[in-house]
Chains A and B, each alone.
Chain A
Amino acid sequence: AQTVTQSQPEMSVQEAETVTLSCTYDTSESDYYLFWYKQPPSRQMILVIRQEAYKQQNATENRFSVNFQKAAKSFSLKISDSQLGDAAMYFCAYRSWSNYQLIWGAGTKLIIKP
Chain B
Amino acid sequence: EPEVTQTPSHQVTQMGQEVILRCVPISNHLYFYWYRQILGQKVEFLVSFYNNEISEKSEIFDDQFSVERPDGSNFTLKIRSTKLEDSAMYFCASSGATATDTQYFGPGTRLTVL
By a beta-carbon cutoff of 8 Å, the part of chain A in contact with chain B is: 33, 35, 37, 42-47, 50, 91, 93, 97, 99-107
Contacts and interface: CB of A to CB of B under 8 A. Distances in A.
B42 A104 contact: yes
Given A33-B100, A35-B102, A43-B89, A102 B107 contact: no
Given A42-B107, A100-B31, 17 more contacts: A35-B102, A43-B107, A44-B108, A45-B43, A45-B108, A46-B105, A47-B103, A47-B105, A93-B43, A100-B33, A100-B48, A101-B33, A102-B35, A102-B45, A102-B103, A104-B43, A107-B42
B33 A43 contact: no
A101 B56 CA distance: 8
Interface string B73-114: 000000000000000010101000001101111111010000
B42 A105 contact: yes
A79 B97 CA distance: 30
Interface residues of B, number: 24
A46 B108 CA distance: 12
Nearest to A43: B108
B61 to A, nearest CB: 11
A35 B78 CA distance: 28
B106 A44 contact: yes
Contact of B105 (A45, A50, A103): A45
Nearest to A31: B100
Contacts of A33: 100
